[in-house]
Structure 1
Amino acid sequence: MTADSPPPVKRRHRWLPLAGIAGIAGLGAVAFAWSAGWIGSSQRLTASTFINTIEATGARHPGFRRAHSKGICVTGTFQGTAEGAALSKARVFSQTAVPVLGRMSIGGGDPHGADAAARVRSMALQLRSDDGQEWRMAMNSFPFFAVPSAAAFLEQTRAQIPDPATGKPDPAKMAVFLDKYPQARRFQAWAKSAPWSSSWANTAYNGIHSFRFINAAGDTQPVRWSMRPQAPFVEMDKAQRAQAPLDYLAEELGQRLAAGPVRWDMQVSLPEPGDAIDDPSQPWPENRQQVTVGTLTLLQWQPQADGACRDLNFDPLILPTGVEASDDPILAARSAVYAKSFDRREREIASGKAIQATGQGVTR
Structure 2
Amino acid sequence: MPLFPYTRAGRPPPAPRRHTPLPWIALIALILGAIALAFAWLAGWIGRERLTAQRFTDTIEATGAAHPGFRRAHSKGVCVSGWFEPSAQAPSLSRARVFAQPRVPVLGRLSIGGGDPHGADGNARVRSIALQLVGDDGQEWRMAMNSFPFFAVPTPEAFFEQTRAQVPDPATGKPDPAKMAAVLAKYPSAQAFQQWARTAPWTDSWANTTFNGINSFWFTNAQGQKRAVRWRWQPQAAVVELDAAARGRADADFLSQDLQRRLAAGPLRWNLVVSLAGPGDAIDDPSVPWPASRPEVMAGVLSLDRMQSQEQGACGELNFDPLILPDGMRGSDDPVLAARSAIYSQSFNRRERERAAGAPAQPQEATR
Sort the TM-score into its range (normalised by shorter chain): 0.7 to 0.9
The aligned residue for residue 190 of structure 2 is: 184
* 1:322 pairs with 2:328: yes
Question: 1:301-327: per-residue Cα shift (whole Å, max 9, x none)?
Answer: 000122110110000000000111111
Structure 1: how far apart are the matches of 2:146 and 2:182?
26
1:186-205 aligned at under 5 Å gives the runs 186-205=192-211
Question: 1:206-253: per-residue Cα shift (whole Å, max 9, x none)?
Answer: 010000100001110110000000001110011110011111100101
Structure 1: how far apart are the matches of 2:199 and 2:360?
36
* 1:269 pairs with 2:282: no
| Off by >2 Å, runs of 4+ in structure 1 | 37-41, 355-358, 361-364
The aligned residue for residue 259 of structure 1 is: 265
1:117-156 aligned at under 5 Å gives the runs 117-156=123-162
3-state SS in 1 of match to 2:172: coil
Query: How far has the Cα of 1:285 moved from its partner?
Result: 1.0
- TM-score, normalised by the number of residues in structure 1: 0.87
Who wins on radius of gyration, i.e. which is larger?
2
The aligned residue for residue 355 of structure 1 is: 360
The aligned residue for residue 24 of structure 1 is: none
Q: 1:38 to 1:326 in 2, by over 3 A?
A: farther
Structure 1: how far apart are the matches of 2:249 and 2:361?
25
The amino acid that maps onto 1:311 is: E
Structure 1: how far apart are the matches of 2:356 and 2:138?
29
3-state SS in 2 of match to 1:82: coil
Structure 1: how far apart are the matches of 2:192 and 2:360?
37
1:274-285 aligned at under 5 Å gives the runs 274-285=280-291
1:13-52 aligned at under 5 Å gives the runs 42=47, 44-52=50-58
The amino acid that maps onto 1:92 is: V
Task: Number of aligned residue pairs: give it.
Answer: 326
Structure 2: how far apart are the matches of 1:156 and 1:330?
13
Structure 2: how far apart are the matches of 1:227 and 1:195?
17
The aligned residue for residue 177 of structure 2 is: 171
- Residue number among 212, 219, 236 corresponding to 2:218 in the alignment: 212
**Conserved 8 A contact 2:147-2:211:** yes
3-state SS in 2 of match to 1:305: coil
- Residue number among 238, 245, 248 corresponding to 1:242 in the alignment: 248
Structure 1: how far apart are the matches of 2:254 and 2:273?
28
The aligned residue for residue 23 of structure 2 is: none
The aligned residue for residue 118 of structure 2 is: 112
The aligned residue for residue 23 of structure 1 is: none
3-state SS in 2 of match to 1:310: helix
Structure 1: how far apart are the matches of 2:182 and 2:225?
44
Q: Output the aligned Cα RMSD.
A: 1.7
**Conserved 8 A contact 1:122-1:139:** yes
- Residue number among 341, 344, 348 corresponding to 2:347 in the alignment: 341
**Conserved 8 A contact 1:38-1:45:** no
Structure 2: how far apart are the matches of 1:113 and 1:322?
39
3-state SS in 2 of match to 1:154: helix
The aligned residue for residue 223 of structure 1 is: 229
Query: How far has the Cα of 1:44 moved from its partner?
Result: 3.1
Q: 1:39 to 1:333 in 2, by over 3 A?
A: farther
Percent of pairs with identical residues: 64
Q: 1:282 to 1:39 in 2, by over 3 A?
A: farther
Structure 2: how far apart are the matches of 1:253 and 1:157?
31
Structure 2: how far apart are the matches of 1:264 and 1:136?
16
Greater shift in the superposed pair: 87-96 or 39-48 = 39-48
The aligned residue for residue 87 of structure 1 is: 93
Q: Which runs of 5+ in 2 are unaligned?
A: 1-37
Query: How far has the Cα of 1:39 moved from its partner?
Result: 8.1
* 1:311 pairs with 2:317: yes
Q: 1:278 to 1:38 in 2, by over 3 A?
A: farther
Structure 1: how far apart are the matches of 2:282 and 2:50?
24
The amino acid that maps onto 1:355 is: P
The aligned residue for residue 165 of structure 2 is: 159
**Conserved 8 A contact 2:71-2:366:** no
**Conserved 8 A contact 2:112-2:366:** no
